[in-house]
């Protein structure tokens, strides 16, 4: 009826409607509330072999020998009496050594208390004694003087006594994490 009676008005009305639609898109007000506040994280870099974490800042860190394969956990877990690991660090200063080992009740019951000795580049830096089953966290700063060739840092983990097996190497402790961490700078 409108079109027949007032064709020009109808036409303009349609144009206005189209204009209104476009301007609604173009001129809409946008307001937002304050977002969730982000916390300031503490950044660390790490050259760590971690049984439960695949990421490392230095992915070339590797087990040389003495850590038995465990297909469920990135290929390593039980240690032999002498485990050797290598970490390609990029500088000497500022590192903390970190390790998490677990003494296993069955082993301790048969072998008696165990002593785990950590050496970095041939120098003994820490000895841990395991009297009973459970996890031990080890963390201490590393003197820069020890890391004479940071890109080739060797760590030896010597454990005794261990549980001899009828076949295969003896079982010592379960190594869950070992390596170096430091503040980002």
4: contact with another protein by CB under 8 A: no
Contact 47, 99 (CB under 8 A): no
Q: Which residue has the tokens 């956990």?
A: 73
Of 59 and 75, CB closest to another protein: 59
Instruction: Compose the 70-109 pattern: x for residues touching another protein by CB under 8 A, - for all others.
Output: --------------------x-------------------
Q: Could you say which of 15, 20, 22, 151 contacts another protein (CB under 8 A)?
A: 22
Q: Please give the C-alpha separations between residue 3 and each of 17, 136, 160, in angstroms, as whole numbers.
A: 15, 87, 99
Handedness of CA 156, 106, 104, 128 (dihedral sign): negative
CB of 26 to another protein, least distance (A): 5
Of 90 and 160, CB closest to another protein: 90
Of 53-61, 98-106, 133-141, 161-169: span binding another protein (CB under 8 A) = 53-61
Instruction: Compose the 33-52 pattern: x for residues touching another protein by CB under 8 A, - for all others.
Output: xxxxxxxxx-x-x-x-----
185: contact with another protein by CB under 8 A: yes
30: contact with another protein by CB under 8 A: yes
**Torsions phi, psi for 174 (to 5 deg):** -95, 125
CB atoms within 10 A of CB 59: 10
184: contact with another protein by CB under 8 A: yes
126: exposed, middle or buried (Cβ count in 10 Å: 0-12, 13-18, 19+): middle
Cα 28 from Cα 31, distance rounded (Å) = 10
CA 5 to chain centre: 77
Footprint on this chain of another protein (rule: CB under 8 A):
22, 25-26, 29-41, 43, 45, 47, 55-59, 90, 183-185
């Amino acid at each position: 009826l409108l079109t027949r009676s007032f064709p020009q008005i109808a036409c303009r009305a349609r144009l206005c409607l189209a204009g209104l639609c476009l301007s609604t898109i173009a001129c809409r007000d946008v307001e937002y509330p304050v977002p969730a506040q982000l916390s300031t994280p503490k950044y660390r870099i790490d050259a760590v072999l971690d049984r439960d974490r695949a990421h490392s800042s230095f992915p070339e860190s590797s087990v040389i020998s003495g850590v038995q394969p465990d297909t469920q956990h990135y290929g390593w877990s039980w240690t032999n009496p002498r485990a050797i690991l290598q970490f390609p660090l990029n500088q000497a200063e500022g590192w903390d050594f970190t390790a998490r080992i677990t003494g296993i009740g069955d082993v301790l019951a048969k072998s008696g208390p165990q002593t785990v000795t950590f050496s970095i580049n041939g120098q003994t830096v820490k000895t841990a004694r395991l009297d009973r089953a459970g996890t031990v966290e080890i963390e201490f700063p590393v003197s820069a003087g020890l890391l004479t060739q940071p890109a080739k840092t060797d760590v030896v983990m010597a454990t005794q006594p261990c549980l001899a097996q009828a076949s295969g190497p003896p079982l010592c402790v379960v190594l869950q994490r070992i390596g170096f961490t430091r503040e980002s700078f």
